[in-house]
Amino acid sequence: MSGTKHYDRSELLDRAVELFRVRGYSDTSTAALVDELGVNRKSMYAEFGSKQGLFEAALEHYDRENLSRVLGPLEAPDAGLDTIRRAFRGYGQAAEGWPSGRGCLMCNTAVERAALDPGARAHVDRYLQRIEAAFVNALRNGRATGELNDTVDVHELGAFFAMSMVGVSALLRAQAPPAQVQAACRVVITMLDHQSSQRPV
Please check the confidence at residue 199 and state whether its pLDDT lies above 60: no
Residues 142 and 83: their CA atoms lie apart, in Å, by: 10
Q: What is the tens place of the pLDDT at every residue in 36-47?
A: 888 888 888 899
Q: For position 99, what pLDDT does the model report?
A: 87
**How would you class 15 by CB atoms within 10 Å of its CB: exposed for 0-12, middle for 13-18, buried for 19 or more?**
middle
Pick the closest to residue 92 from 180, 195, 192, 159 (CA basis).
180
Residues 104 and 94: their CA atoms lie apart, in Å, by: 11
Q: What is the tens place of the pLDDT at every residue in 118-153?
A: 999 999 999 999 999 999 999 999 999 999 999 999
Residues 20 and 26: their CA atoms lie apart, in Å, by: 9
> How would you label 136-173 residue by residue, b for 16+ Cβ within 10 Å and e otherwise?
bbbbbbbbeeebbeeebebeebbbbbbebbbebbbbbb
Residue 103 neighbours by CB under 8 Å, 6+ apart: 21, 169, 170, 172, 173, 174
Please check the confidence at residue 29 and state whether its pLDDT lies above 90: yes
Band (197; pLDDT cuts 50, 70, 90): confident
Instruction: Report the chain's mean pLDDT, rounded to a whole number.
Output: 92
- Give the pTM: 0.89
Which helix (H) or strand (E) element contains residue 82? helix 81-94
Residues 17 and 192: their CA atoms lie apart, in Å, by: 33
Q: How many residues does the chain have?
A: 201
Mean pLDDT of the 148-160 span: 95
